[in-house]
Structure formats: C-alpha cells, structure tokens
C-alpha cells in the first residue's frame, strides 16, 4: 500500500470558463482525470469516489491563476501534467505539481488570505479616467485609514452590519492594467481574509460606493492564496506548509 | 452581461472538442444551429450534435450553436441591444447565413419566434430581406410544418444528414443574389425541403438516410463544462421503429428501421469514450432492446468495460424485450434508472394502441428488474386514449400495486412510480383522426387513479393536462394556429415547456381572439373527409393504411411488427428504396 502518491496541483481558470461553478469545476476535473487515465485512488464503500480534494471555492465569474487541489494516486504518473492539460477544457491549465510526503491538512483550513486583481469601473460612467483613478486612490486610502468599515450583509434574509476592516490586509492601485486583459476598468490589488470567512472583493467595492465613489467590479482574478506560517505568508505549495502535515 | 445572470455557464460553450472554425469568405456557408430551449436541455441533443460535426468537417461549411436565452439573460440582451449570439464564439446571429432550428416539441414554438426576433430578424418570413439569414427548421416539428409556416423560410423534413449539405450548396450558389425569392425557389426544389412561400405541386417527401453506417456521428462529442440533462456519451444504435404503436409519431415518421452495424457501435463507443472522458454510455434508439444483436452487443460491452467504471444505459426499453439476462447485463456495469412504458392499463386497450405487451410480459420484466437489484422502477402510462374506460384507468393502479408486490419479494422498500400523461393525437399516426380528452376528464381520471393506488409505495406522477391541450392544438394545427403562437409570444409566453412559465390562459385567450376553438382542434374526432393540414408532407406511410389501422384500432385488432412478421405494406420500404436493415441479420424471437 506504500505506492500511494499524494499530489498538490496549482491550476488556473481563465477566460470564458470562469463562468462555471464549483460543482461543475469538480466534474470537469473528474472527467479529465478519467480521460487522461490518471491512476486515481478511490474511496472504499458502496459508491466509491475518486480521491480529489479541492481547496477554497472560486466564485462563478472569477478568474484565477492560483487554484489548488490535492489528488491521491495509486501509482506514479510522470506524464500527468501534459496528459491532464490535454484533457481539460480550454482555460483550465495546470501550473505546477508537487508531491506531498504525508497527508496534508485540508487546503481550505490552512489558507487564510487571498490576493486579487480587481478591475473596477465607475458605476455611472460620468468620471473621466484620470478623475476616477484619483478618486479610487483616495477611496482605497480612506478604507485603509479607517478604524472601522461597516457594510450591511444579508444572512438568511436578515440584514446586519459588519465591520470588514479586520478582513482587509492590503489595498492599492496596481501599477499597470495587465495589458493582456481586455477588461474595462482600473485594476487594483487586494489582499483579503479567507478566514474566518471569505471577504469578497465586491464587498470592498460596496464599501467604496458607501464612501461616496459609485463603482462596480467588472472582473476579479485570484492571483495567490496565502498560508500563515510563523507570522509569514507563503503559498500552499511551500515546504513549510507541507510541514504542517501530521494531524492526519 | 454574463456576470449578472443565473447560470452564466449556459452561454459560454467552452466544451471539450469544440471546433470553433474561423469565419471566412464567400465559399463558406455558416450555420447557426438553434435549439429553442435552455442549454442544459439542448446541448445533449443528438441531431444537433450530428449536424454540428458533419457540417464542420466540410471545408466549405461552418456550424456553431445557440440555445434559448433564459428570461434573465433575454432582459439584459434587450436592454443592451445585444442580439442572439452563438455560444461557441459569441458571434451575433447576423454573421451567419442560416439560422437552423431543430423543433423538438410543440410547446417550444414561441421560443422559436422569440429567438428569430432576438436575432434581429422580422418574425414573419415575408417581411425578411435578402440580407437576412435564412430561417430553416427540421426535426419532429417539421412533420406538421403548418403552425410555423409563416415564420420559417424552409422546412427540412426527415433525416438531416444529406439535406443539410444540399441546402448549403443552394445557399452558396445564390451568394450574390439580392432577392430572397430565387433562393427560396431553389431550396424548394431540394427533395425533402418544404418552402411555404413556394407551395409544392405535389408532395414533399421526407428524406431517409439509407445506411447509418455511412454516418458514424458524432465522432468526437462535445463534453459540456456545466450540468446538462444527459451528461454522457450517446451512440445511436438504430433509427426508426416498426412496432407501429398507434399513438407514436416518432415510430411512424422515422421508418423504416436502419440498424448500425455492431462493430461500428463498439468503435463509436470506444472512440467516444477516449475523446471525451465520459463514464456513461447510452445506446440510443426508439426501442433499444429491439436491436437485433442486442444480447451479444451488451455482453461484449460488459466484457470490455466492466473494469473501467463505465456505466451503460438503454433508454426506451420495451417491456417484452427486457429479459432477466438483459437486466443482469445492464446492472453488472452500473445501475441506472429503469422505466418501462406499458402505456395502457389493460390488454384490451394495449391492443387498441397496438402496444402488444401482455401483463405477463410486464410482470416478468418487473421481476427481472427487482431480482437484479433495482429497488425503484417507473412505469409510464397514457390516459385519455381512444376507447378508454374507467376500468382501463383503474387497472393502471392495479398494475402498479402488483408490481410493488413483486418488488417486495426482493426488497422491503421496493417502490413503483406510475407516471401518467394525457394522450395527444399526432400527425402521421393512425390516431391522427382521434379526439383527445378534455382536461376536466383527465383530472377526473387522475382522481380515480389516486383512489385506486392505495399503497404508499405506489407513487403517482401526472402532467398538467392543460399543457397537453396546447400540445394538441399545435400538433395537429393548421396555418391559422400561427397567429395564435405569435400572439402568445407577443404577450411574453416563452418557455412554455417549463411549468413555471406555462400559461394556459394566454393560449386560450389567443385562440378566442382568432375565433378558433380547442374543441375543433382537440376534442372532436375528425372524419376521413376532413382535410389534414399536413397532407402535403409525405412520410412514406400511405394515408389509406393509416385509416385502416385506425379502424383496426377501434376493432381492437393488432398490427404485427413487420420485421419479423409479414410486411403489411405500409408503403415505407418501397417508397424509399430502403429495407429494414438489421445489423446482425438474426431475427429476434419475441417473447410475447
Ligand atoms: S415501440 Fe412503439 S412507442 Fe416505441 S418507438 Fe416504436 S412505435 Fe413508438
């Protein structure tokens, strides 16, 4: 039984395929794994399931260059990345694969922050580009400088107010607009909490609007996910994260 | 726009094996294949998949797809003036030469109009100009084209494989033409094509592909990236059906039976699985267990795939062809749902409809299923059939109870679902002259059934009989029904196949406004002298034969399956120069 191989995969979800949901994404992976004849391990029991565990869900409509999943195989497969890339639909591509030595903690429990590129444009379209960029910069500054950033949320039909300031780590205008992208709007960078809950970039845009700058999000791209190890942030493939293994 | 709608994945295409060719110049004829229902319903459609691949394989053609936008997207499209677009490349409909609809069911008619309108075209054919794409329709709805004849430029009747290419040739020849007239005239001369603006002097004969072996499509099916109704590999094992169930339009209009050779089926399954990663295979046809070599075919497939977590399903199983051995074969690979369709509660009524399945056949199939591990089965019935009595109705419940009893021998929790639909007479069938029951009568019969079911393990499901009335109006409708369809569409009646959008009142109002009555279209028996609106469409079955068969029905006399009894001369084989092609050449023996 020692032949089991545990892999962690980082992949991207770009272009039109960003509109599929988490369940669809899971099925797309299962099917690609099947088609590429990956020697995936199956759970025991009446209805065996392939051993795939996904990290944090990526919202419908978001792009990402930093999605993670773990696989368990029954034997090695050196050709796995190219074989899977052929079987996956356009827009989903494997970026990196590493082998894990022991059973890792689940991705969604260790990841505590995520970094995003967020394209934001003025809601009404009345502002010129320069004026909007200026106002955006000020808006972001004032959020960062605030002690509290209250927004109203809706949970099970009940409205309540929540301070999202503690969930915001970094905010700022990005230096350039990622020229490969045809998306409209000004790009900003955000690092936001995923624990105790995932703060969505759209909520920051809501806070900006409440602060007097009517704007909307035209695209979100997750750029990185972070794990906090001894006060340092590292990505989920970093050695020190894998060292977090143990509590199997 | 897409971030603001529900289920945006419906509109992105993005399937694996997508072809997405570049749009080129004058030689290339561009088809936008349109399915008038939501993506998740239309994506698995086999006819569309065949045409998509077949047309794209040709250098001189291109095909992309579009589906009915859900009302939330439609609202966005209309407010932002975005026209109907292809899911493949998001090209607007106007970039194509042809908007080619497949017409799967009557209730989707208003969606067809809505899509023509969203494409930016006048809905009425006569208002369209030479610069507009042609609007063509095929599929089951083309067998009675009259209700849509004001809106569709040309109907392709019968199998589409050959005629699609011939239509493309006509369009290419007329590239430079300004007028729509000459191209329509030319289209009307293509066999199997009906152009309402150029009425044919004789009959329009349906097209028939003589050998399925010539069309091993789809070879590389599209693999959806989001949920669809049949998310699996479908391989058509034969086309047509000779059973002659008298209510069944599909059986009548797709004759004769043409089987795909077993070797090709296996090859298509092998190639299809390899190119898609699907784990489920469905062997499609109108009555899959009737495939002449079904037992060895299944045995081979079970052998080839049992270690591979591939599941196999046979939709449309005939009760009398479902043996324990077959049950064991299917179940060995992976268990899927099982539905049998005895259609009527008593042997008497089954003779009337020519579904020659005895109670004993049904019970042995049910026994086969439960004994092989199934716990739930579904039985499909129609009510409101010609000559039906209350005893026939109550017998449906009795059959359900008896089936549950059989199931309990094997599992404590065995259950049976009785799924009941109202009978709707269809064009080109022996029942095309029959009357259907009024909704009140159907409701009464459903109550009767509820009272007789009397067992918690017998579940009853039935359809809103008012949808059947609308289906009935359109299925045997004439050109006047076109105004009704347009009126319903103009009042916002789209997605009428969906219970959350179906609105019976809209239809009844529109009928009244046109001075028409459902009585004439649905509830009155037609006589032999009544003109049939679809009389100009010839499916190969003589009208006299249909009439005589209707008379036999009333006399409770059955018509044998002509593959293994004598030919009863319905006309279809002679007329089309094809004979029933039976793949393995080994006639089956029926258990009935
Ligand atoms: S078996 Fe009967 S109901 Fe089924 S396709 Fe054939 S004719 Fe139609």
Q: What is the CATH number of the domain that holds A60?
A: 3.30.70.580
Same domain, A138 and A224: yes
Tell if the CB–CB gap between A19 and B16 is shorter than 8 Å: no
Spatial separation of the C-alpha atoms in residues B44 and B65, rounded to whole Å: 12
**CB of B248 sitting under 6 A from ligand 1:** yes
Residues (pLDDT < 50) of chain B are 332-334, 574-575, 577-592
In this prediction, residue B586 carries a pLDDT of 28
Domain ranges of chain B: 2-205, 232-334+560-592, 338-480+516-548
Answer whether B232-334+560-592 and B338-480+516-548 agree in fold. Answer: yes
Nearest chain B CA: its distance from A197 CA (Å): 22
Spatial separation of the C-alpha atoms in residues B151 and B112, rounded to whole Å: 9
In this prediction, residue B30 carries a pLDDT of 97
Q: Is B13 on the interface with A (CB under 8 A)?
A: yes
Mean pLDDT of A66-93: 94
In this prediction, residue B588 carries a pLDDT of 28
Query: Number of structural domains, chain A?
Result: 2
> Could you report the predicted ipTM of this complex, rounded to two decimals?
0.80
Q: Provide the 10 A C-beta neighbour count for residue B2.
A: 18
Same domain, A165 and A94: no
Residue A244 lies in a domain: no
Pick from B286, B561, B590 the residue to mutate for probing ligand 1's pocket: most ligand atoms within 8 Å of its CB.
B286
Same domain, A11 and A68: yes
Residue A150 lies in a domain: yes
Tell if the CB–CB gap between A21 and B16 is shorter than 8 Å: no
Residue A106 lies in a domain: no
Would you state the structure tokens that stand for residue B299, as one six-digit string?
């045995």
Spatial separation of the C-alpha atoms in residues B242 and B571, rounded to whole Å: 12
The domain boundary residue, chosen from A63, A78, A100 = A100
Spatial separation of the C-alpha atoms in residues B164 and B21, rounded to whole Å: 18
Same domain, A160 and A65: no
What would the DSSP string read from start to end of B23-92? P-STTPEEEEEEESS-HHHHTT-HHHHHHHHHHHHSTTEEEEEEEPPPHHHHHHHHHHTPPPB-TTT--B
pLDDT in tens, B23-74: 988 789 999 999 999 999 999 999 999 999 999 999 999 999 999 999 999 9
In this prediction, residue B589 carries a pLDDT of 28
The domain boundary residue, chosen from A49, A77, A100 = A100
Residue A90 lies in a domain: yes
Structural domain of A15: 5-100
pLDDT for residue A231 is more than 80:
yes
Q: Which of A23, A24, A32 faces B277 most closely, judged by CB atoms?
A: A32
Same domain, A54 and A119: no
Spatial separation of the C-alpha atoms in residues B317 and B314, rounded to whole Å: 6
Backbone angles phi, psi at B149, to 5 degrees: -65, -20
Helices then strands, counting H and E runs in chain A, come out as 6, 11
In this prediction, residue B577 carries a pLDDT of 47
Nearest chain A CA: its distance from B33 CA (Å): 21
Taking domain B338-480+516-548, whether its CATH number is 3.30.750.200 is answered by: yes
Least confident of A73-87, A122-136, B547-561: A122-136
Same domain, A117 and A90: no
Give chain B's end-to-end CA distance (angstroms, integer): 58
Same domain, A66 and A130: no
Same domain, A66 and A167: no
Pick from B244, B247, B248, B314 the residue to mutate for probing ligand 1's pocket: most ligand atoms within 8 Å of its CB.
B248
The helix (run of H) or strand (run of E) holding residue B267 is: helix B262-276
Residue A225 lies in a domain: yes
Least confident of A170-184, A205-219, B138-152, B390-404: A170-184
pLDDT for residue A2 is more than 90:
no
In this prediction, residue B581 carries a pLDDT of 46
The helix (run of H) or strand (run of E) holding residue B538 is: strand B537-538
Q: Provide the 10 A C-beta neighbour count for residue B274.
A: 12
Same domain, A94 and A115: no
In this prediction, residue A185 carries a pLDDT of 82
Backbone angles phi, psi at B6, to 5 degrees: -70, 145
Residue A136 lies in a domain: yes
Tell if the CB–CB gap between A90 and B13 is shorter than 8 Å: no
Same domain, A95 and A146: no
Annotate A73-107 with b (16+ C-beta within 10 A) or e (fewer): beeebeebbebbeebbbbbbebeeeeebeeebeeb
Nearest chain A CA: its distance from B89 CA (Å): 10
Residue A201 lies in a domain: yes
A 88-127 near B (Cβ less than 8 A): 88-91
Taking domain B232-334+560-592, whether its CATH number is 1.20.1600.10 is answered by: no
Would you state the structure tokens that stand for residue B385, as one six-digit string?
């059939």
Chain B interface mutation, best of A13, A31, A62, highest count of B Cβ atoms under 10 Å: A31
In this prediction, residue B253 carries a pLDDT of 93
pLDDT for residue A247 is more than 60:
no
Domain made up of B2-205: CATH architecture: 3-Layer(aba) Sandwich (3.40)
Q: Are strands A232-234 and A215-229 parallel, antiparallel or unpaired?
A: antiparallel
Q: Which residues of A touch B227 (CB under 8 A)?
A: 23-24, 27
The atom number, within ligand 1, closest to the CA of B244 reads 7
Q: Is A73 on the interface with B (CB under 8 A)?
A: no
Kindly tell me the burial class for residue A194, based on how many C-beta atoms sit within 10 Å of its own C-beta (0-12, 13-18, 19 or more). Answer: middle
Q: Are B378 and B416 in contact (CB under 8 A)?
A: yes
Helices then strands, counting H and E runs in chain B, come out as 20, 17
Same domain, A61 and A125: no
In this prediction, residue B512 carries a pLDDT of 97
Give chain A's end-to-end CA distance (angstroms, integer): 17
Q: What global pTM score does this model have?
A: 0.89
Same domain, A25 and A124: no
Would you state the structure tokens that stand for residue B423, as one six-digit string?
């009978």
pLDDT in tens, B433-474: 999 999 999 999 999 999 888 878 899 999 889 999 999 999
């Amino acid at each position: 039984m020692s032949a089991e191989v545990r892999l962690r995969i980082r992949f991207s979800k770009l272009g039109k395929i960003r509109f599929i949901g988490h369940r669809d994404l899971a099925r797309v992976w299962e099917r690609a794994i099947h088609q590429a004849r990956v020697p995936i391990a199956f759970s025991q029991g009446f209805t065996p399931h392939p051993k795939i565990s996904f990290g944090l869900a990526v919202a419908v409509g978001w792009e990402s260059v930093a999605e993670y999943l773990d696989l368990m195989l029954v034997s090695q497969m050196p050709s796995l990345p190219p074989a899977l890339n052929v079987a996956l639909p356009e827009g989903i591509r494997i970026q990196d694969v590493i082998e894990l030595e022991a059973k890792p903690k689940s991705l969604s429990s260790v990841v505590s922050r995520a970094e995003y590129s967020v394209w934001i444009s003025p809601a009404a379209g009345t502002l010129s580009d320069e004026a909007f960029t200026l106002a955006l910069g000020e808006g972001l500054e004032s959020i960062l400088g605030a002690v509290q950033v209250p927004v109203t949320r809706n949970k099970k039909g009940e409205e309540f107010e929540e301070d999202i300031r503690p969930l915001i780590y970094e905010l700022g205008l990005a230096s350039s607009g990622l020229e490969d992208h045809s998306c409209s709007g000004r790009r900003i960078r955000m690092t936001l909490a995923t624990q105790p809950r995932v703060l969505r970039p759209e909520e920051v845009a809501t806070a900006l609007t409440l602060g007097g700058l009517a704007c909307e999000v035209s695209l979100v791209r997750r750029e990185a996910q972070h794990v906090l190890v001894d006060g340092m942030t590292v990505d989920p493939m970093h050695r020190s994260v894998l060292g977090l293994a143990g509590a199997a | 726009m897409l971030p603001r709608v529900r289920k945006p994945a419906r509109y992105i295409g993005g399937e694996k094996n997508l072809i997405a060719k570049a749009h080129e110049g004058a030689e290339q004829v561009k088809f936008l294949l349109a399915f008038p229902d939501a993506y998740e319903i239309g994506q698995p459609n086999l006819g569309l998949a065949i045409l998509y691949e077949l047309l794209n394989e040709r250098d001189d053609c291109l095909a992309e797809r579009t589906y009915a936008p859900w009302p939330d997207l439609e609202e966005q499209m209309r407010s932002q003036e975005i026209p109907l677009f292809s899911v493949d490349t998001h090209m607007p409909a106007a970039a194509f030469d042809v908007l080619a609809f497949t017409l799967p069911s009557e209730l989707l008619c208003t969606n067809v109009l809505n899509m023509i309108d969203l494409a930016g075209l006048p809905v009425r054919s006569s208002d369209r100009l030479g610069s507009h794409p042609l609007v063509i329709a095929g599929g089951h709805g083309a067998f009675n084209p009259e209700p849509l004849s004001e809106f569709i430029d040309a109907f392709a009747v019968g199998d589409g494989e050959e005629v699609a290419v011939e239509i493309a040739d006509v369009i290419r020849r007329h590239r430079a033409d300004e007028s729509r007239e000459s191209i329509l005239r030319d289209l009307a001369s293509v066999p199997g094509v009906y152009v309402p603006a150029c009425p044919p002097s004789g009959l329009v004969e349906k097209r028939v592909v003589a050998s399925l072996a010539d069309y091993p499509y789809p070879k590389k099916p599209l693999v959806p990236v989001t949920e669809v109704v049949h998310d699996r590999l479908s391989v058509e094992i034969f086309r047509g059906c000779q059973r002659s169930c008298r209510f069944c339009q599909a059986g009548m209009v797709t004759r004769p039976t043409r089987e795909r050779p077993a070797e090709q089926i296996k090859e298509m399954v092998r190639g299809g699985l390899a190119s898609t990663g699907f784990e489920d295979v469905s062997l499609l046809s109108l009555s899959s267990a009737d495939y002449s070599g079904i037992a060895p075919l299944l045995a081979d497939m079970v052998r080839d795939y049992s270690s591979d977590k591939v599941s196999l399903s046979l939709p449309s199983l005939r009760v009398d062809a479902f043996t324990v051995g077959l049950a064991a074969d299917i179940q060995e690979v992976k268990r899927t749902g099982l539905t049998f369709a005895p259609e009527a509660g008593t042997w008497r009524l089954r003779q009337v409809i020519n579904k020659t399945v005895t109670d004993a056949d049904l019970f042995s199939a049910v026994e086969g299923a439960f004994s092989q591990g199934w716990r739930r089965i579904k039985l499909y019935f129609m009510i409101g059939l010609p000559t039906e009595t209350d005893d026939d109705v109550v017998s449906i419940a009795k059959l359900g109870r008896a089936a549950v009893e059989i199931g309990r021998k094997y599992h404590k929790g065995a259950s049976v679902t009785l799924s009941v639909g109202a009978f709707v007479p269809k064009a080109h069938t022996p029942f095309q002259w029959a009357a259907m029951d009024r909704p009140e009568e159907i409701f009464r019969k459903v109550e009767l059934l509820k009272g007789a079911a009397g067992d918690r393990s017998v579940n009853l499901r039935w359809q809103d009989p008012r949808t059947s009335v609308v289906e009935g109006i359109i299925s045997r409708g004439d050109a006047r029904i076109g105004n009704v369809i347009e009126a319903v569409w103009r009042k916002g009646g789209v997605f009428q196949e969906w219970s959350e959008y179906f609105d019976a009142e809209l239809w009844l109002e529109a009928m009244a406004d046109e001075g028409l009555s459902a009585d004439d279209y649905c509830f009155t028996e037609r006589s032999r002298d009544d003109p049939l609106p679809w009389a100009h469409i010839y499916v190969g079955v003589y009208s006299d034969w249909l009439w005589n068969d209707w008379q036999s029905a009333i006399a409770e006399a059955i018509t044998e399956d002509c593959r293994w009894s004598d030919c009863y001369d319905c006309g279809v084989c002679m007329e089309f120069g094809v004979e029933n092609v039976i793949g393995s050449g080994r006639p089956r023996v029926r258990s009935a």
